Copies of this chain bind each other. A is one copy, B any other.
Amino acid sequence: MKFETNWRPVRNNGMPLYRQIADYVRAKIESGEWPPGSRIPTERAIAQVFGVNRSTIVQAFAELTADGLIEGKSGSGTIVSAAAAWDNEVPKLPDWEAYVKTGVHRPNQRTIQDINHAEFIPDIIRLGTGEPSPDLYPKAMNRILRQLPPQTDIFGYPEPRGLYPLREEISKHMAGYGVNVSPDSVLIVSGALQALQLIALGLLKNGSSVLTESPSYLQSLQVFQSAGMSMIGLPLNEEGMDARALEHYAGSGKGTLLYTIPSFHNPTGTVMSLNRRQDVYQLCVKYKLPIMEDDAYRDLWLDEPSPPPLKSLDQNGLVLYIGSMSKTLSPGLRIGWVIGPEQVIHRLADVKMQSDYGASTLSQWTVAQFLRQGLYGEHLDHVRKELRARRAYMLQLLDYYLKGVAEWVEPAGGFYIWLRFKRDLSIHALFDAALKDGVLLNPGYLYDKTDQNHLRLSYSYASFEQMKIGIGRLAHSIP
């Protein structure tokens, strides 16, 4: 277990630090947060989080041991003693370790867990983060929330497919991209990630296999694997996924579904060409292979719009289209959508009702207002301008600091630069070294387990100042 808390001991408050810390641990034990028999964080971890000397922790632990609350156990560190329980006949109950380990759902990859936590370290420079910088959040948010009607009835449990006004706006928005569907075929989800989860649980069976680009955002997740499915990676070139590889797998009956990020691909930034889109679509028609088109970055073109969605080619109801407001309006709203054949939408809506009864109606209402009032379009213009400047600056920094050791392609939109080191080096070690220096990276191996020489950089999040410091430190950390 990772040790994390916002509590800190206070210096010079009349009580020695070790005593404050012993009291803190005592409270954890008495409240059952650290139950009898459970392992407690190491002295080292505690000392580090609290910013005190290891010896302070040793002293606190000595006191707690003397009180019979904790005990050293050879091989498994320090544990809460059984005697700490009210009911001290019972040695260890329940065995949460076993529960935590046996769940059906796989844990996130270690590095992802580390990143999820490190993101909240104060002053950390996040050079790979896939979210917009807080500067880019829409200024109109406050204006919209002030318009919330009094006594509004939006606050009940939402309809299975989501608030109708939002589905209507999404349907109009998509018409602008050549996707003409009614609000009936739109399902609102709590972010695009949830769409993947619903599809995994609602449409696929154990033993299914998902074809996808390699590398891919999808490979950084466990959503399909946790539901008993496997993944097959297809090579990617500058026009998008390799159609021949697709034909090979689809033709030999491998693959229950194709997942693709055709526009400003995560992590490579690639845009699938119109020709390739047509080829991929026709192959999927030929082999009756449904497509999940994850278009989370479509609205973020910087040079020119990306070719029309695969969904716009689709009169056959082959494509499940996924969109998101996370990369454009704000990830905290947790609003995405799925478009597909009505029967599929109904099934996914039913699974969604069983997962969380729908997305926050406050978020749904807010996004509907953004779209309805034309504020989303205005906001995108602003965000694109800012992202262009950020992209230019990061490319300039890369040129300055990393030209000799790495190469990259200028992305035409989205957030990412897929940096390739010209020689193999330990990306694990680089990740660790940078983190020690206060710089958080996204290693390429998250998106392709075999990758040895890529980083996913993002120009969306860090400030200009942070980019400069961060890339400078990164250059220094390279062995």
Contacts and interface: CB of A to CB of B under 8 A. Distances in A.
Interface of A: 1-2, 4-7, 27-36, 38, 84-87, 90, 93-97, 99-100, 102-105, 107-108, 113, 116-117, 119-120, 131, 134-135, 137, 139, 141-142, 145-146, 148, 150-160, 164, 180-185, 190-191, 193-194, 197, 200-206, 221-223, 226-228, 282, 285-286, 288-290, 311, 314-319, 326, 330-334, 341-344, 346-347, 350-351, 353-363, 366
A200 B356 CA distance: 13
Contacts of A145: 145-146, 148
A472 to B, nearest CB: 25
Given A32-B341, A134-B153, A193-B356, 8 more contacts: A34-B317, A36-B317, A94-B318, A97-B343, A103-B203, A104-B228, A107-B350, A157-B326
B363 A108 contact: no
A332 B157 contact: yes
B221 A354 contact: yes
18 contacts: A6-B183, A28-B342, A31-B182, A35-B317, A87-B316, A94-B289, A96-B317, A100-B203, A102-B204, A113-B350, A134-B156, A137-B152, A190-B359, A193-B354, A222-B354, A332-B362, A334-B360, A360-B360
Number of this chain's copies in the assembly equals 2
Given A85-B315, A93-B316, A350-B107, A156 B36 contact: no
A362 B346 contact: no
Given A160-B116, A182-B5, A316-B93, A204 B343 contact: no
A327 to B, nearest CB: 11
Contacts of A353: 108, 116
A452 to B, nearest CB: 25
A32 B347 contact: no
Nearest to A167: B6
Contacts of A193: 354-357
B316 A36 contact: yes
Contact of A155 (B103, B134, B180, B203): B134
